[in-house]
Chains A and B, each alone.
Chain A
């Protein structure tokens, strides 16, 4: 099956290069969605910007660091209170955000003085905090403020502080992904190797690409503790700034999120010769496999088997309870990128769930190689999917549940499709053995929500016809109804209608 041009994309036929429907006996040599490419303006893409990729996804996770955003107020406001990454020190990272609150005069005359003043103020107001990341934004990049020079000056004035600068304005790259890259490369080149680690175990590793969403990092840490493995740097879940300056001291890099953080693992290999092991921390069998590989690397296989046995004893029966009840559930995954390939096979193997459509916001072609290799035939693989495409895909694949963000979740709720927060989780953590049971539970609770069925009932129709109504509601195609037959549309949902 070639790449797919959806009806809603007839005006933007270049979208065909981004949507693939996998057919038997095809592989990525023939078809691979073009990705990490410029967004078409006006498509209602789901993408964010490079700045948020750096600040919101990676840097802002750190538990002891001032996040100084050099720009107008919105960039700070918008990357605050949109994440669920707790820390073990009272969630300093989620409570505060800092901005230089740039005004017109700073655009005209330069914002460096304003930045310097704001940095000193921030340290003065929070005297216990000694670490800072400074981010540029679109306007400060355009006017060319030299944030590195300002950071250097502030560090000279305050010998006890350390400052890292990230220069990736929102317009750089095509998505969040550019921000991941800039932060990774900047950190390895400027900060890794500037502090020595105290080694407390014969086995040391960095755990890269996990941001402690609802406690993922902290759950996995209990495994590493039981295995006797010292984690030098968590990049960046529940991490402190200084932990990550010591990453060069580890023997192994274990990578979960290869998209956001693969760069630093590659550089650690290139610059320090530390090997990179990619694992999936989501999924029951994957987690066991990851632990086996880590333990095999260190030659502590028995410890790994013991841990897996203990965890299986507790969690496998619970997982199987859900598996029995989730068999055949049709799932769509519309998230950032890597979760597509982390999840598609694990939900299939561990839960009997069929992933029928996947859309990635910022994945690269590497991510599509991974997911198409793992994913099913008859499934749609979409790069940078947009809203109208989602409606059409829903009609084509009829998912029972969609793992996506809360805004899209609110949208599909109107179509009587439950969502589970695929970014920040409903009730996580979702990593590890326990975490995957949490994921299964949330999926089960979503799919079995009685409200979904009640929503399909029209109380004007006699109750005796209720069964028919269920059937009608199930069969009622969303996209077809709104686009192909405008006369059926009711009320004021006019944007969803086709003219004449």
Chain B
């Protein structure tokens, strides 16, 4: 995949998450990070047709979020049907870094790092 194509696909996924997913906007930095990491890890498994682990309650939550994400993206973006493992992992890394950037690193939300809820 060319760098340009990769960016465009990450852009598609990023647009979807921004528009639909409340989990990126949890109240505090650590919750946002945990959700971004957790959901995207499960999504990667699902994109690759693997069964993600559902051990902990958090696992189950991230799987539930990822299952809707993956099925929506498959419907919205036909190109998701033809990506290989390397591509999926690259896409997820790219998406993760953009989500971390907007929801954590560059977020102007002044409450994100308050140590209490």
Contact = CB atoms under 8 A, between A and B. Distances in A.
Interface in A14-43: 27-29, 31-32, 36
B6 interface: no
B65 interface: yes
B61 A292 contact: no
Contact of A29 (B31, B60, B68, B106): B106
Contacts of B68: 289, 292-293, 296
A460 interface: no
Nearest to B103: A369
Given A28-B108, A29-B102, A345-B19, A185 B117 contact: yes
Interface in A335-393: 345, 364-366, 369-370, 373-374
Interface string A273-307: 11111111000000001001110110100000000
A258 B27 CA distance: 9
A313 B54 CA distance: 32
Contact of A28 (B26, B107, B117): B107
A428 interface: no
Interface string B50-81: 00001001101101110110000000000000
Contacts of B22: 258, 278-280, 370
Please classify how large the interface on chain B is, using the bins under 10, 10 to 19, 20 to 34, 35 or more. 20 to 34
Contact of B67 (A36, A252, A292): A292
Contact of B111 (A258, A277, A289, A364): A364
Interface stretch (A129-137, A162-170, A261-269): A261-269
Given A32-B109, A263-B117, A274 B23 contact: no
Given A293-B64, A369-B25, A252 B111 contact: no
Interface string B11-23: 0000000111011
A366 B57 contact: no
A448 B8 CA distance: 42
Q: Output the residue of B31, B54, B117 with the most chain A CB within 10 A.
A: B117
Interface string A107-150: 00000000000000000000000000000000000000000000
* 7 nearest A-B pairs in the assembled complex, by CB-CB distance: A296-B64, A278-B22, A275-B61, A32-B108, A365-B109, A266-B117, A29-B106
Given A267-B117, A275-B60, A293-B64, 20 more contacts: A27-B18, A32-B109, A266-B27, A266-B117, A273-B57, A276-B26, A277-B61, A277-B65, A278-B22, A296-B67, A296-B68, A297-B64, A299-B54, A364-B111, A366-B27, A369-B103, A370-B22, A370-B25, A373-B18, A373-B25
Interface of A: 27-29, 31-32, 36, 185, 251-252, 258, 262-263, 266-267, 270, 273-280, 289, 292-294, 296-297, 299, 345, 364-366, 369-370, 373-374
